[in-house]
């Protein structure tokens, strides 16, 4: 993909979505950066990037955003499904509403966006869907069941979709970041509900505190193995622009190493690795 492309990106208010929008714009592509709160995109608009509201949990919002891009350009050349957040709670502690909200954003919104752009891509005989998954799609640690399950789903959906749409000239690419130095860690901590943990009433209280501390202060740092946002951005740009893209792009040594360990180690050995790497609840 060397000529300018029309690229629609979800979740551009911060992090990798924002950086990818800027990088692709600098390369001359027609970028449409979107977010639930369009005011968070004011600085992108000031640099000449087209911006609009898009909430991946709202059908009308998604349909309107795609229709607006198609009205201007005919079809979306590249969809980057980036909008997501991480719910990090013990399985027993999460409410049904929290679990549904996690899948509404990370899975069902991604699917619906693909469904909305595919008719235009099929008419054009070309297109590319880049799904931002995660190393989380290949393993699941304590406290990460629902976020990691959502990324497992993204991996499975992408595999099926890649085969289904290839005859129409449409490519599907998965990007698998490991920990990246963005605001994701703080967002993850923000999803650990319930206020201050009370060990007298919450059997997971100390675990939640330790998990929040790990995500806030260690996991998303260079010492924790996280890669700079610029590194992740370069890989996303490659996934968007490569003439012959790979099916998957892993980002970072930690991501590649962890996914390799999950594939090669017996379950008992990988569980032992998780116990050494993550806090665990303590029985009293």
Mean pLDDT, the chain, whole residue set: 92
- In the DSSP assignment, the letter for residue 247 is S
pLDDT of 173 > 90? The answer is: yes
Going by C-alpha positions, the residue among 153, 149, 175, 152 that lies closest to residue 246 is 175
For the entire predicted model, the pTM comes to 0.91
For 151-156, the CB contacts below 8 A with 24+ separation are 151/106, 153/103, 153/106, 153/107, 154/106, 154/107, 154/110
pLDDT (0 to 100) of residue 2: 62
Domain range summary for the chain, segments of one domain joined by + = 6-277
pLDDT digits (tens, 9 = 90+) for 125-156: 999 999 999 999 999 999 999 999 999 999 99
How confident is the model over 106-132, as a mean pLDDT?
Answer: 98
Out of 14, 93, 140, 151, the active site residue is 151
Q: Is 3 a catalytic residue?
A: no
Q: What are the structure tokens assigned to 26, written together?
A: 């600098």
Cα dist from 94 to 86, 88, 89, 162, 193, whole Å? 13, 9, 6, 32, 8
CATH topology of domain 6-277: Rossmann fold (3.40.50)
Higher pLDDT, residue 283 or 70 = 70
Out of 14, 52, 85, 147, the active site residue is 147
Q: Is 151 a catalytic residue?
A: yes
Out of 52, 61, 85, 133, the active site residue is 133
C-beta separation of 250 from 263 below 8 A: no
pLDDT band at 201 (very low <50, low <70, confident <90, very high): confident
C-beta separation of 223 from 176 below 8 A: no
Distance CA 260, CA 176 (A): 13
Q: Is 13 a catalytic residue?
A: yes
């Amino acid at each position: 993909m060397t000529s300018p492309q029309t690229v629609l990106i979800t979740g551009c208010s911060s992090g990798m979505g924002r950086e990818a929008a800027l990088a692709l714009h600098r390369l001359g592509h027609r970028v449409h950066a979107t977010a639930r709160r369009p005011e968070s995109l004011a600085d992108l608009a000031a640099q000449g990037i087209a911006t609009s509201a898009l909430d991946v949990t709202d059908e009308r919002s998604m349909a309107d955003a795609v229709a607006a891009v198609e009205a201007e350009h005919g079809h979306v050349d590249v969809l980057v499904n980036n909008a997501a957040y991480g719910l990090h709670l013990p399985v027993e502690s999460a409410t049904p509403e929290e679990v549904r909200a996690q899948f509404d954003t990370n899975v069902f919104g991604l699917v619906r966006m693909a469904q909305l752009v595919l008719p235009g891509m099929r008419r054009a005989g070309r297109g590319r869907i880049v799904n931002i998954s995660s190393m989380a799609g290949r393993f699941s640690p304590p406290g990460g069941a629902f976020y990691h399950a959502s990324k497992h789903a993204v991996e499975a959906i992408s595999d099926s979709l890649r085969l289904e749409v290839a005859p129409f000239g449409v490519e599907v690419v998965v990007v698998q970041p490991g920990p990246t130095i963005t605001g994701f860690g703080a967002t993850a901590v923000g999803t650990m509900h319930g206020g201050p943990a009370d060990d007298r009433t919450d059997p997971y209280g100390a675990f939640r505190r330790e998990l929040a501390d790990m995500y806030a202060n260690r996991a998303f740092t260079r010492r924790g193995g996280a890669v700079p946002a610029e590194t992740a951005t370069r890989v996303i740009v490659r996934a968007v622009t490569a003439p012959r893209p790979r099916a998957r792009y892993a980002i970072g040594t930690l991501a590649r190493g962890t996914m390799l360990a999950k594939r090669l180690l017996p379950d008992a050995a990988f569980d032992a690795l998780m116990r050494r790497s993550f806090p665990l609840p303590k029985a009293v």
